[in-house]
Amino acid sequence: MRTQDVLAPGASLSTFRPPLSIVIPSHSRPDLLRLCLASVARFAPANTEVIVVDDGSCVATVSHAAAEFVGVRVVRRPRAGGFCVAANAGIAVASAPVVELLNDDAEVTEGWADSALARFADPRVAAVAPLVLQNDPERRARGLPPLIDTAGDEYDFGGFASKRGHGSVWGEQVGESRGGSCSHRPAHTGRSPENVFGASACAAFYRRDAVLAAGGFPEHFGAYFEDVDLSFRLRRLGFEIVYDPGAVVWHRVSSSYGRNPSRRTQERQSCNEERVFWRNVRGRRLVKYLPRHAAVLTGKALRRWQEGGLLPWLVGRCRAVLG
């Protein structure tokens, strides 16, 4: 695909705005979904397609909540399949060339989509990572500035992914958190996009055709690190992923699983993180980074032991390796 294939006659890169579909997977959280949809209804560009995937919610609570908003399309699944299954179902029926995957516990802001959509004028861009801020009512009540949830993903080939800027106060420098230099750019004033490893699926914009070409989200992952795996595959196809600090989204962090994840959730997190390494670190790169991976696992095991969560961590790693 070339730039002239996607630009309308007379359009410039600064005015390029492709049509948008927003896909919101949701399971039995109608109150959060209403807040999400209210923000979309207020700030989304005209003619945006909004798709809610009701992932097997009990008594169709999500479907009923979505029906309160005009023009929202509901895709109802008879049973819960997990985030990846729901996301793929929504992307499959989306009609626009660009799809934003939005968590139901996220809320968008004015101009967020215009800023991100302009980046797709470059046909090399497969995904745009917005600036995602933690929606923390306690900090807001105390008059404190918000914390960053993610400014795009990064990956260490020792075998772990991390969120750029996670936990930093909005306005501090945002850059690589491990093994790299900071970008030396305040998040609240920077308006120039930059290439990053990946985009967090809580609010990422994707070129639909690129996602389909890459095979979509790995449905056996369920949730966690599925976006990191997709980022690897998009990059192997020759695409780029861009962080755009002008696209701001609020996220109620960990509202899906609470502050103390269950043992099953811990096992899945551990398993999927290990899966990402073995699925994507290959050939000479695997030979190069395998010793580092062993060191990373040793460090993680020690930390989990100190925290009292070694067993679910080990179970998850073993499941990943043994298939």
Note whether residue 106 is domain-resident: yes
153 bridge partner residues: 163, 198
Domain CATH code at residue 215: 3.90.550.10
Domain ranges, residue 305:
263-322
Q: Is 103 exposed, middle or buried (0-12, 13-18, 19+ CB in 10 A)?
A: buried
pLDDT band at 58 (very low <50, low <70, confident <90, very high): confident
Decide if pLDDT at 10 tops 90: no
Other beta carbons within 10 Å of 6? 16
Strands 240-251, 194-195: pairing kind: antiparallel
Note whether residue 256 is domain-resident: no
Q: Which of 219, 251, 283 is the last residue of a domain?
A: 251
pLDDT by residue (tens digit) across 308-322? 999 999 999 999 999
pTM score over 0.75? yes
> Do 124 and 211 lie in a common domain?
yes
pLDDT band at 140 (very low <50, low <70, confident <90, very high): confident
> Do 295 and 189 lie in a common domain?
no
Q: What is the pLDDT of residue 260?
A: 79
Decide if pLDDT at 192 tops 70: no
pLDDT band at 170 (very low <50, low <70, confident <90, very high): confident
Decide if pLDDT at 284 tops 90: yes
